[in-house]
Amino acid sequence: MSWDTGDKCNNAEDCSWAEQFTGSVIYISPEVQSVIRELCNKVKTEWQMLLTGEEKKDGVYVTGYWIPKQEVTTSTVTNLDVVDKAVIAERKIVCTIHSHADMGVFFSGVDEKFTNNSLIKNHIVVNNKGQMKATMRYELPCKMVHFFDAEAQVIMPDGAEVEGMGNITQKKYGNYKGGFGNKWWAEEEYKGKWDTDGRKMKKKKKQHHASKDRGKLNKHGVIIYP
C-alpha cells in the first residue's frame, strides 16, 4: 500500500491534558455529501476518498474531495497513489472517509493502526445506509495523542433564491383597548375607527324611539314634545 502513515502515534488512553478536549464537528458541504451518497449507491464494496478543505477553531470544513487510485474488495482498500505529506499539503486534505459497505459504522483494528494513525488527523466511516461515524486526533502537550468522537454534519446552505417570494405579504395589526381588554385587530378591517391618539372615536348616542313619542319633562313638570 502506498500510504505514508508517518510515525506511529502514541495514544494517551488516560491523560489529564486530554480532559480539556471534547471533540468537534466535521462540516461537509452539500456537494461533497452528494458525492458520498453516489459512491454508496454505486460502489457496493469498500472505497476510500480524501476530503479537502480547511481546519478552523470551531471545526473542520470539507469543501472538496480527491479519489486516489485504489483496489478494493468487500472488506479492504489498497491505495495505489502515494499519499504523503507533500500531497496532503498540496491538495489541502483535512479528512479521510471510507466505506464499510453493508456493515455497521466503526473503526476496525486496521483502520486504527493505519488510517487513523496517518498524517491526516480526521476520519469518517460511512456505510451504504448513509450512517456515519467520525473521529478526531488531538496532539497533546506531552507529545502524545488522543482520539475523540466527532460529529459529521452536512452544511445547510444559506441565501437560497426563492421564486415567488414577492407573493408573501405581512398583515399588520394594531392594539385596540376596548371593553373586552386588550385585543389585536387587523388594521385593514378597522381602518378609520381610531383617532390620532389610538382611542376609539365616540359615536353620537341615538335617541330612543320611545322618548320621541312621549316627549320630555322640563323642570316645571311640563311635557315638551319635539
pLDDT of amino acid 13: 63
Helix or strand or coil: residue 65? strand
In a domain, 24, yes or no: yes
Look-up: residue for cell 315638551? Answer: 224
Instruction: Round to whole Å and give the CA distance between 116 and 133.
Output: 13
Considering only the C-alpha atoms of the chain, give the largest distance between any 2 of them, rounded to a whole number of Å.
122
pLDDT of amino acid 166: 84
| Domain assignment of residue 191, given as a range | 170-220
pLDDT of amino acid 149: 85
Torsion of CA 15, 112, 55, 53, to 10 degrees: 180
Q: Do 34 and 102 lie in a common domain?
A: yes
Q: Do 184 and 146 lie in a common domain?
A: no
Q: Is the pTM of this model over 0.75?
A: no
* CA 136-142-146 angle, 5° bins: 20
In the chain, the number of structural domains is: 2
69: DSSP letter: -
Secondary structure element (H or E) that encloses residue 40, with its range = helix 30-42
Q: What grid cell was written down for 74?
A: 468487500
- Which ranges in 62-132 belong to alpha helices (H)? 85-91, 109-110
> Backbone phi, then psi, for 21, in 5-degree steps?
-105, 140
* Low-confidence spans in the chain with pLDDT less than 70: 1-23, 141, 143, 174-226
In a domain, 54, yes or no: yes
Report which of 146, 151, 2 is spatially closest to residue 62, judged by C-alpha positions: 151
Handedness of CA 188, 193, 195, 197 (dihedral sign): negative
Instruction: Round to whole Å and give the CA distance between 45 and 108.
Output: 16
Q: Do 121 and 213 lie in a common domain?
A: no
Q: Do 69 and 116 lie in a common domain?
A: yes
pLDDT of amino acid 130: 92
